[in-house]
Amino acid sequence: MAEMNLTLVTEFLLIAFTEYPEWALPLFLLFLFMYLITLLGNLEMIILIRMDHQLHAPMYFLLSHLAFMDICYSSITVPQMLAVLLEHGAALFYTRCAAQFFLFNFFGSIDCYLLALMAYDRYLAMCQPLLYVTILTQQARLSLVAGAYVAGLISVLVRTVSAFTLSFCGTNEIDFIFCDLPPLLKLTCGESYTQELLIIVFAIFVIPASMVMILVSYLFIIVAIMGIPAGSRAKTFSTCTSHLTAVSLFFGTLIFMYLRGNSDQSSEKNRVVSVLYTEVIPMLNPLIYSLRNREVKEALRKILNRAKLS
C-alpha cells in the first residue's frame, strides 16, 4: 500500500477555482478582459517611450523594459488560467510545468531587478543631479539591464533545476493557477533539504536583494530631501510616487506569497494573491506611470493630437 501511495507524478493537474463551476464563465471573462487591458496598456507604454524623444531618459528606458516584462510574465500564466476556467481543470506534463516555472520566475526576477534599478535611477537623479547624465549613459543603461537579465537567468536556472529534481508523489493536483513553488512543495516526498536550501539561497539574490537596494536608495533620497526647504519637499518627492506605488504593490504581494512558512500557506489566499501579481499589477503599472507622470501624459497628448490632425 505504501508503494502505491508513492507513485511518482509525471503530470500535474491544475484545479484552481474548479470548486466553483458557476463562477467559471464570469471569472473567465473578467480575467480575459484584464489580460487584454494589460497587453494594450503595456504595449502603448513601450510604443510611447520609443516614439517620444522626451521619454528617452534612463528612467523611461527602464520603464519600457518593465512593461515588456509585465507582458511576458502575464502571458506565461494568464492563458493557462483561462484554460483551467474554461475546461474546469488543465493537465500539464512534467516538462511543460518546469518550462512554465522557469519562464515565470525568470520574468518575475527581472521585474524585481528593474524596480531596484529604477530606485537607483531616482537616487542618482535626486542626490547626484550633476553626475546623473554622465553616470547613466546609454552604454551604462544597457549594461545594467543586461546584468539584470543575466542575474535573473542564473538565479532561476538554479531554482528550476533544484525544484524539479525533487520527488513528487501521491496526488498530482495543484490548487493553483500555474506551476509555482509553494503548491509544488506540497506535493514533494522524500529528502528535499538540499534542493530547498538552494532555492532559498538563490531566491535571496532576487526579492530581498532588490528590496535592500530600493530601501537604501530611498533612505539616501529622504536624507537629501530633508536638506532642502520644507516648502519644496513634497514637490520634489512627488517624482518618486509612481515608482513607490509600483514597488509597494509588487513587493507586497511577493512577500505575502513567498516569504512565509509553508504552515501559513492557504490555497484560497494564495490564489487571490497570485491573481494580483499576475493580472492586476501588470494591468495597473501603465496607469500608475501615466496618470501620475506629467511627461508621459504630455507625450500621450502629443501623439493623440497628431492622430487627430492626420
Per the domain annotation, does 3 fall within a domain?
A: no
Residue 116 domain flag: yes
Higher pLDDT, 292 or 167: 167
Distances (CA, A) of 240 to 42, 217, 246, 306: 20, 11, 10, 30
Domain count, the chain: 1
pLDDT above 90 coverage of the chain, percent? 46
Asked whether residue 4 is domain-assigned, the answer is: no
Choose the weakest-confidence range: 191-195, 223-227, 287-291. 191-195
Per-residue 3-state assignment (H helix, E strand, C coil) for 21-56: HHHHHHHHHHHHHHHHHHHHHHHHHHHHHHHCHHHC
The dihedral region occupied by 190, where left means phi > 0, alpha psi between -120 and 50, and beta the remainder, is left
Contacts of 107 (CB under 8 A, 6+ apart): 69, 72, 73, 76, 152
User: In this structure, are residues 246 and 111 in contact, taking their beta carbons and an 8 Å threshold?
Assistant: no
Residue 177, all three cell numbers: 493557477
Q: What is the pLDDT of residue 197?
A: 84
pLDDT of residue 264: 53
Residue 2 lies in a domain: no
Average pLDDT of the segment spanning 38-43: 95
* Residue 1 within any structural domain of the chain: no
6 lies in some domain: no
149: left (phi over 0), alpha (psi -120 to 50) or beta: alpha
pLDDT at 284: 93
* CATH code for the domain in which residue 263 is found: 1.20.1070.10
Residue 50, phi then psi, degrees to nearest 5: -70, -35
**Domain extent at residue 167:** 11-309
DSSP structure class, residue 240: G
Domain-located, residue 5: no
Does 42 score more than 80 pLDDT? yes
What pTM, to 2 d.p., does this model score? 0.90
Mean pLDDT of 166-194: 83
Bridge partner list, 189: 167
Residue 24 lies in a domain: yes
The more confidently predicted of residues 203 and 104 is 104
Say whether pLDDT at 3 is over 70: no
pLDDT (0 to 100) of residue 16: 85
90 beta partners: 14
Q: Which residues contact 179 (CB under 8 A, 6 or more apart)?
A: 12, 14, 92, 97, 98, 100, 101, 104
